[in-house]
Structure 1
């Protein structure tokens, strides 16, 4: 299974970010081909070693067989990635990886 984790850094205007994220970005992200699940953090994002630079964490899992297809290759992924600049001015780190049973 393929995974995408988005680590959204703390925003200047958290309410504007949250409103835009919920009303615009989430519906767009849910159009990604092969999307199996989409979850976001609830409440503050903490680090075990102290203050966190993150406001929100999103986790998406996909049924796709190739990692390069997750998030950016399909037209829906290109549109979703391009749209990040509309609301994530503080920055976002995107992690894309495959998983296996441990």
Structure 2
């Protein structure tokens, strides 16, 4: 399994971020081909010392890195990526990787 992690930094207006994210961005992202599962952090992301500068962490699950690359290049993936600039004014960092059981 492979994962795409979206680390959303704290936005200027957290309430507006949440409204837009769940009403507009999530439905766009759920249309991405090959998406197996999608979850988000519940509440602000914390570090060992307490609150972090990340407001939300989203995890999208795919079968492989190739599936993520294909998904990101699809029209649905491109639409979701283009949408980030409409609400993630604090910034967002995307990382993706394969996983292995240990």
With 43-52 and 64-73 compared, the bigger mean Cα shift is at 64-73
TM-score, normalised by the number of residues in structure 2 = 0.91
2: CA distance between counterparts of 1:69 and 1:49?
Answer: 35
Q: Which consecutive unaligned segments of at least 5 residues does structure 2 have? A: none
Q: In the alignment, is the contact (CA less than 8 A) between 1:2 and 1:66 conserved in 2?
A: no
- Which residue of the partner structure matches residue 3 of structure 2? 3
SS of residue in 1 equivalent to 2:33? coil
Give TM-score scaled by structure 1 length.
0.91
Distance (whole Å) between structure 2 residues aligned to residue 13 and residue 65 of structure 1: 33
Shift of 1:63: 2.2
Give a deviation string over 1:66-88, Cα, whole Å, max 9, x none: 16525521111111101100000
The structure in which a higher percent of residues are helix is 2
Q: How does 1:87-102 map to 2 (within 5 A)?
A: 87-102=87-102
SS of the equivalent of 1:72 reads helix
Q: 1:68 to 1:41 in 2, by over 3 A?
A: closer
Q: Secondary structure at the match of 2:73?
A: coil
Task: Note the alpha carbon deviations across 1:36-91, whole angstroms, 9 max, x for none.
Answer: 10001111210114440000110010124616525521111111101100000110
Residues matched between the structures, number = 102
1:6 deviation in Å? 0.4
